């Protein structure tokens, strides 16, 4: 699929998915900071079959992107036909990462969505 199409469809798809799994109502706004904990817990309790890994990971990846953009911590761009998030750490220091391999790790239970976003989004002390 074209990366720009994925970006364009990300928020509506995520909104519908979170509604379908019972975490938001049709009339609710998409407050991802409020939904982070419940969605992370929901993922933890899922038994993910091999054939469902990429489906779930695409939803988790969309959540990561939209959450970080909504929080003002990242911007999204396309690099080499891949969607990447760019985080600015200092005046001229920018880190890029692909959220979808991370999302696969979360779907595979190597970490939780909550732990990942808490670690990535926390400010250094």
For residue 74, the tally of other CB atoms under 10 A from its CB is 24
Q: Check whether 123 has a pLDDT greater than 70.
A: no
Q: Check whether 124 has a pLDDT greater than 70.
A: no
DSSP label at residue 27 = T
Dist. CA 68–CA 84, nearest whole Å: 12
pLDDT recorded at residue 117: 95
Mean per-residue pLDDT for 71-87? 93
Q: Check whether 125 has a pLDDT greater than 50.
A: no
For residue 81, the tally of other CB atoms under 10 A from its CB is 7
pLDDT recorded at residue 92: 76
Q: Which residues are paired to 82 by β-bridges?
A: 79
Domain boundaries, the chain: 3-121
């Amino acid at each position: 699929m074209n990366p720009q199409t994925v970006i364009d469809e990300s928020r509506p798809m995520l909104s519908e998915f979170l509604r379908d799994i019972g975490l938001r109502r049709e009339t609710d706004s998409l407050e991802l900071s409020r939904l982070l904990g419940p969605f992370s817990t929901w993922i933890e309790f899922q038994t993910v079959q091999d054939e469902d890994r990429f489906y779930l990971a695409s939803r988790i990846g969309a959540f990561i992107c939209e959450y970080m953009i909504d929080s003002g911590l990242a911007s999204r761009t396309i690099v080499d036909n891949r969607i990447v998030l760019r985080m600015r750490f200092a005046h001229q220091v920018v880190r890029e990462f692909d959220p979808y391999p991370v999302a696969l790790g979360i779907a595979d239970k190597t970490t939780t969505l909550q732990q990942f976003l808490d670690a990535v989004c926390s400010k250094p002390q």
